[in-house]
Chain A
Amino acid sequence: MATRSLTWFDRLDKQNRYRMSLLAGAAVQVLILLVVASQVFDLRVVEDYRTTVGNLETIHLRRELIGDPILLALVVVGMALPFTSSKLRREPVLLVALQITIAGLVFFVVWPLGQVFVEGFKAAQGAAGFSLLQFEKLLESPMVARASINTLLIGSTSATLATMIGTVVAYTLTLSDIPWKRLLRVLVVLPLVSPPFAVSHAFIMLFGRRGLITYDLLRITGWSIYGADGIVLVQLISDIPLVVLILMAVFSSINRDLEDAAGDLGGRPLHVLRTVTFPLVTPAILSAWLLSFISSIADFGNPMLIGGGFQVLATQAYIQLIELFDLQLGAALAMILLVPALVAFILQHWITSRRSYISVTGGARTGFIRVLPTGLKVPLFGMTFVLAAFTILVYGSIFVGALVRVWGFDFTPSTENLVGLVTAIPQLRNSLIVSIGSGVVGGIIGLIMASLVARERFPGRGILDFSGTLMYAIPGTVVGIGYIIAFNAAPYFWTGTFFIIIIAYAYRRLPVGLRTAVAAQKQLDPSLEEASLDLGASRIRTFTQITFPLLSRAFFAGVIYIFIRSMTDLSSAVFLNAGRTQLYTVRMFRVMVTGNPSEAAAFAALLVVIILISLGLLSRITGKSFVDLFRV
């Protein structure tokens, strides 16, 4: 066994060691604060006024200190909080890790979101004081009232339909004896890999007024996919898989003994279903409804493409901010959008954190297959089959569309649209830089937070855990607007830089990284780390040599998950990218709005291929099957 030579630190006596670590701790504190302060404040030379005498122009300059003292104060308070625990004060490494995590959350989550609220209550750009002007404007504008109602209406319709269909399909795919179950499972879940608005494009190609099926095959006239129906339809394609995944997990873990006992006690099958099976899955169904509600109201790309002028809050906020450059009104709209999302998320959190009805005990007989009567089996199979057929149609049309000259008019095979993708290389490169960057950064933050949340007991652990997962509920539009407000003025000027897009995605997708890492941490036997600590290894050494190697798979899995989510994001990207950092999805979106359908299909096809490759990689790393990959 290799031995390490004693360092100077090991040779110190106990008293001095304590002093040294105290000193080091203080130095780290000062360093963190200096880093934050140097970002938050800036001394810059600005032009004051110009005077012209004859042909001599004098520019008067002045130095100005600009910055966000409130942000600095928040960071300092956040960093001071861990000191209140005497346990943490004895553990300098843990303390510093926690402080950095808190500082990051304050800087990149709390601050930008807080700015949305501050800006929404301003009368105008740079105006001081509190004002309800924006909300008065909103109340006066009938478009906004309509957009709010539309958003809630679309959200609840999509969520309800997705939950109903998804629950039945999940039941069919887990507990019934229909054929081709394995294949159907993959097909039903597959739409999760594509950027949602690609589904819109495929639907227009297939079912539009000039669509392949509606026009060329069925010759339907007077039909229109554009509008609320179209939005709900395409949202179902991406929301149903979400519901199916959640409920498949629940259905396959139902303990058969409970149902058998009810049956033995004389319950009729329907009675058993109503009184035993249904209560077992109710929390999961509610939770699935809330999650698809959140994803539906946050949706930006689909309403933009297939809405046909049907306004929702996400599109209104985009128009106010990007097209009409009214930052305050955009912020006020973002705020309205944030409220239902947060309410839904807190409800969902509350439901899932209550005691679960599903007792996974050793030896329980779970996931058994019920032999269903044909009268029931045929409609169930039919429904699942139709859903799977939609997947094939959507992806089929994207790939076929990419390989013909002009979809709808000239179906001769051609590679010109694929060759045309060459012009998108800069955007593709930008997207890869951003997505890999945010994957790695998000993975590291997730790992650090997970090791704090899953392993250590300290005051405020629950809050930390909650704030880590909170970002899941925040619509991308709100994140984008928050970052623009917080970091697009002196002293930052960060919008449009890779740095800020990477940070935004890393924090936005933190719940994914966090959940992956927490799950892996929980499977790790704590005695391994305890043994290392007891043998005298420091916390850092234990983490780098014991914990991290055991968690590296989970880490890379988290990186790839965040990578995929970042590659397909549009709603934050439209706000954060600019000029040199234009992202692939934004270019793709523009092509869908102005280009020919095949050109757009080629863009979507390339993105789908990239994501399938990363999923293949993920499957190799984790050893999970395709369907299980999505269970995060």
Chain B
Amino acid sequence: MNRRWLFPALVVLGAVVLGACAAPTPIVQTVEVERVVTQQVELLVTPTPIGGELTLYACLFDPDKLAVLFETFRQLHGVDVTCLDMSSGEALERIRAESENPQGDVLFGTTNLSHVNLAADGLLEPYQGAGWNLLPDGAIKDPDANWTGFYYGVIGFACSPERLEELGAACPTSWDDLLDPIYAGEIVIASPAASGTSYTVLSGLVQLLGSEDAAFEWYHQFDANVAQYTESGSAPGRLAAQGEFAVGIAFAHDIQVQQDNGLPVEISFPSEGTAFEIGGISIIRGARNLAAAQAWVDYVFTPAFQRYHNDVAHRIPVVPGVDLAEGTFGLEDVKLIEGYDPTEWAAQRDALVARWQEEIGSGR
């Protein structure tokens, strides 16, 4: 054998043997850890020193604007809070990837769809905190306490007064109005295949019109007026606010952020009833600072937090008796689609979106 091949051959052989040995065969070793499960129910947030750090995933709003809340929490419990800004998909993917070694403590915000998915994978730590105990049974909380809803978001129509004047049209006030050919090429909405916001609209319509077929019949007519299906759920609000298009369909709180930006945009709600989302909070299983995570979940349901959140992010509080900030909409200001349960619809997403892609999306 040629000598110059001898060494590499040996190395390769060694590598193969090493590779074979190192194939991931689990070494099972049972270590017993005792832990007392407490079933303590706290109804009020009492300032108890906890200390340490707390990492929130999927920061639901601009972390800068939440700084005041973090500071208050630090004074209450001595915990330093970091809020990491990421999309709901990103948060989900990270929590799944890190399941053996969680880097985040709390999934803070994003619609309950993410929480439902994570709970199904067993990646959440159930907690029956102040908020969970306070809220009535139903769509707003998980019966197993994996997650708790802490805000509502309602779908609204963003209207550009300038564009509408040119069209000689008024701001639409019903789902039926949207089918009027006067709006042809002037409506923007996100693609349900890319955005949870738009899925909320689609599932709401199925509920409202009574059947999938009826909803898709409506959508086919609506499609003729749609200028573009955006990737981002909040982009339609921005596009209407900037006067690029006459009508954008988005969450009312995202449209109000555009008003805060100084853009002239009006909001209206469909008279037949509108779809809504529930934004949830949950503790990630294996959270490094469980005590702080539980304290944060309780803190989120205090009236002060709910009011401030409504003030900066315009989302609707779940805690009864919280005064709304000026110019924001509450659940009582809009008509909700009767019997619409966002949690229930979360489970049917794949099938509904696939049909939408086939019938509507592929025509684009």
A594-B194 contact given A55-B37, A405-B262, CB 8 Å threshold? no
Contact indicator A69/B262 (Cβ below 8 Å) = no
Instruction: Kindly supply a per-residue 1/0 record for chain B positions 7-30, scoring 1 wherever the CB is within 8 Å of any chain A CB and 0 otherwise.
Output: 110011011101110111111111
From residue A111, how far is it (CB to closest CB) to chain B in Å? 14
- Once the chains are docked, how many angstroms separate the CA of A209 from the CA of B167? 14
Contact indicator A579/B84 (Cβ below 8 Å) = yes
5 cross-chain pairs, A with B, having the tightest CB-CB distances, nearest first: A579-B84, A142-B362, A76-B15, A308-B228, A69-B19
Inside 8 A of A347's CB, which chain B residues have their CB?
none
Contact indicator A597/B19 (Cβ below 8 Å) = no
Inside 8 A of B166's CB, which chain A residues have their CB?
221
Inside 8 A of B39's CB, which chain A residues have their CB?
55
Contact indicator B84/A578 (Cβ below 8 Å) = yes
* Candidates B35, B191, B254, B261; contact of A599 at CB < 8 Å: B261
- Chain A residues near B (Cβ < 8 Å): 41, 43-48, 52, 55-67, 69-70, 72-73, 76-77, 79-81, 83-86, 89, 141-143, 146, 204, 208-210, 215, 221-222, 224, 226-227, 304, 308-311, 315, 319, 321-325, 327, 405-406, 408-410, 423, 488-490, 493, 495-496, 578-580, 582, 593-597, 599
A597-B27 contact given A56-B34, A58-B34, A319-B193, CB 8 Å threshold? no
The closest CB in chain A to the CB of B190 belongs to A309
Contact indicator B85/A143 (Cβ below 8 Å) = no
Given A324-B194, A409-B262, A596-B258, 10 additional A-B pairs, CB 8 A? A61-B30, A62-B30, A69-B24, A84-B5, A308-B228, A324-B89, A409-B263, A493-B97, A495-B94, A599-B261
Inside 8 A of B212's CB, which chain A residues have their CB?
none
Contact indicator A41/B22 (Cβ below 8 Å) = yes
The closest CB in chain A to the CB of B59 belongs to A579
Contact indicator B22/A67 (Cβ below 8 Å) = yes
Contact indicator B37/A57 (Cβ below 8 Å) = yes
| Interface CB pairs A-B, < 8 A, 11 | A47-B286, A57-B35, A58-B34, A61-B29, A84-B5, A322-B93, A409-B263, A490-B100, A594-B254, A596-B262, A599-B261
* Candidates A43, A55, A319; contact of B231 at CB < 8 Å: A319
Tell yes or no: B232 within 8 A of A by CB. yes
From residue A22, how far is it (CB to closest CB) to chain B in Å? 12
* Candidates A66, A83, A210; contact of B243 at CB < 8 Å: A210
Contact indicator B244/A209 (Cβ below 8 Å) = yes
Contact indicator A73/B19 (Cβ below 8 Å) = yes
Contact indicator B238/A80 (Cβ below 8 Å) = no
Contact indicator A210/B244 (Cβ below 8 Å) = yes
From residue A300, how far is it (CB to closest CB) to chain B in Å? 11
- Once the chains are docked, how many angstroms separate the CA of A66 from the CA of B26? 8
Contact indicator A309/B229 (Cβ below 8 Å) = yes
Inside 8 A of B346's CB, which chain A residues have their CB?
none
- Once the chains are docked, how many angstroms separate the CA of A141 from the CA of B361? 10
Inside 8 A of B57's CB, which chain A residues have their CB?
579
Of the candidates A81, A204, A209, the one having the most CB atoms from chain B within 10 angstroms of its own CB is: A209
Contact indicator A224/B227 (Cβ below 8 Å) = yes
* Candidates B4, B84, B93, B364; contact of A325 at CB < 8 Å: B93
From residue B110, how far is it (CB to closest CB) to chain A in Å? 12
- Once the chains are docked, how many angstroms separate the CA of A495 from the CA of B94? 9
Tell yes or no: B313 within 8 A of A by CB. no
- Once the chains are docked, how many angstroms separate the CA of A405 from the CA of B264? 13
- Once the chains are docked, how many angstroms separate the CA of A594 from the CA of B62? 12
Inside 8 A of A57's CB, which chain B residues have their CB?
34-37
From residue A361, how far is it (CB to closest CB) to chain B in Å? 42
- Once the chains are docked, how many angstroms separate the CA of A608 from the CA of B15? 49
Inside 8 A of A410's CB, which chain B residues have their CB?
262
- Once the chains are docked, how many angstroms separate the CA of A543 from the CA of B254? 59
Inside 8 A of A63's CB, which chain B residues have their CB?
26-29
- Once the chains are docked, how many angstroms separate the CA of A60 from the CA of B241? 55
**Those of B100-145 within 8 Å (CB) of chain A:** 100-101
From residue A91, how far is it (CB to closest CB) to chain B in Å? 15
Tell yes or no: B302 within 8 A of A by CB. no
From residue A69, how far is it (CB to closest CB) to chain B in Å? 4
Tell yes or no: B195 within 8 A of A by CB. yes
Contact indicator B85/A579 (Cβ below 8 Å) = yes
From residue A267, how far is it (CB to closest CB) to chain B in Å? 53
Inside 8 A of B92's CB, which chain A residues have their CB?
325
Contact indicator B19/A309 (Cβ below 8 Å) = no
* Candidates B11, B31, B232; contact of A76 at CB < 8 Å: B11
From residue B239, how far is it (CB to closest CB) to chain A in Å? 9
* Size category of the binding interface on chain B: 35 or more
Contact indicator A65/B35 (Cβ below 8 Å) = no
- Once the chains are docked, how many angstroms separate the CA of A112 from the CA of B101? 22
Contact indicator B4/A86 (Cβ below 8 Å) = yes
From residue B20, how far is it (CB to closest CB) to chain A in Å? 7
Inside 8 A of A141's CB, which chain B residues have their CB?
357
Contact indicator A578/B90 (Cβ below 8 Å) = yes
Inside 8 A of B229's CB, which chain A residues have their CB?
309
Contact indicator B261/A315 (Cβ below 8 Å) = no
From residue A201, how far is it (CB to closest CB) to chain B in Å? 12
A46-B238 contact given A77-B15, A406-B261, CB 8 Å threshold? no
Inside 8 A of A143's CB, which chain B residues have their CB?
193, 357, 361-362
* Candidates B18, B32, B262, B364; contact of A72 at CB < 8 Å: B18
Contact indicator A423/B12 (Cβ below 8 Å) = no
- Once the chains are docked, how many angstroms separate the CA of A69 from the CA of B17? 10
Inside 8 A of B274's CB, which chain A residues have their CB?
none
Inside 8 A of B238's CB, which chain A residues have their CB?
593-596
The closest CB in chain A to the CB of B35 belongs to A57
* Candidates A44, A325, A493; contact of B89 at CB < 8 Å: A325
- Once the chains are docked, how many angstroms separate the CA of A84 from the CA of B64? 59
Inside 8 A of A322's CB, which chain B residues have their CB?
87, 89-90, 93
A73-B15 contact given A65-B24, A80-B8, A496-B94, CB 8 Å threshold? yes
Contact indicator A406/B262 (Cβ below 8 Å) = yes
Contact indicator A578/B94 (Cβ below 8 Å) = yes
- Once the chains are docked, how many angstroms separate the CA of A77 from the CA of B7? 11
Instruction: Kindly supply a per-residue 1/0 record for chain B positions 224-246, scoring 1 wherever the CB is within 8 Å of any chain A CB and 0 otherwise.
Output: 00011111101101100111110
- Once the chains are docked, how many angstroms separate the CA of A81 from the CA of B5? 10
The closest CB in chain B to the CB of A596 belongs to B261
Contact indicator A76/B264 (Cβ below 8 Å) = no
From residue A571, how far is it (CB to closest CB) to chain B in Å? 14
Tell yes or no: B319 within 8 A of A by CB. no
The closest CB in chain A to the CB of B30 belongs to A60
Inside 8 A of B27's CB, which chain A residues have their CB?
43, 62-65
Instruction: Kindly supply a per-residue 1/0 record for chain B positions 179-206, scoring 1 wherever the CB is within 8 Å of any chain A CB and 0 otherwise.
Output: 0000001000001011100000000000
The closest CB in chain A to the CB of B186 belongs to A209
Tell yes or no: B358 within 8 A of A by CB. yes
Inside 8 A of B242's CB, which chain A residues have their CB?
208, 210, 408, 596-597
Contact indicator B28/A84 (Cβ below 8 Å) = no
Inside 8 A of A52's CB, which chain B residues have their CB?
37
Instruction: Kindly supply a per-residue 1/0 record for chain B positions 252-287, scoring 1 wherever the CB is within 8 Å of any chain A CB and 0 otherwise.
Output: 001001100111100000000000000000000010
- Once the chains are docked, how many angstroms separate the CA of A162 from the CA of B282? 51
The closest CB in chain B to the CB of A222 belongs to B185
- Once the chains are docked, how many angstroms separate the CA of A160 from the CA of B4? 51
The closest CB in chain A to the CB of B23 belongs to A69
* Candidates A64, A86, A89, A226; contact of B228 at CB < 8 Å: A226
Inside 8 A of A45's CB, which chain B residues have their CB?
31
From residue A207, how far is it (CB to closest CB) to chain B in Å? 11
- Once the chains are docked, how many angstroms separate the CA of A146 from the CA of B262? 38
The closest CB in chain A to the CB of B6 belongs to A83
Tell yes or no: B173 within 8 A of A by CB. no
Inside 8 A of B22's CB, which chain A residues have their CB?
41, 65, 67, 69, 72
Tell yes or no: B1 within 8 A of A by CB. no
* Candidates A44, A83, A208, A323; contact of B244 at CB < 8 Å: A208
Contact indicator A578/B86 (Cβ below 8 Å) = yes
Instruction: Kindly supply a per-residue 1/0 record for chain B positions 68-104, scoring 1 wherever the CB is within 8 Å of any chain A CB and 0 otherwise.
Output: 0000000000000010111101101110111011000
Contact indicator A309/B18 (Cβ below 8 Å) = no
Tell yes or no: B351 within 8 A of A by CB. no
Inside 8 A of B191's CB, which chain A residues have their CB?
309
- Once the chains are docked, how many angstroms separate the CA of A599 from the CA of B33? 53
Instruction: Kindly supply a per-residue 1/0 record for chain B positions 295-332, scoring 1 wherever the CB is within 8 Å of any chain A CB and 0 otherwise.
Output: 00000000000000000000000000000000000000
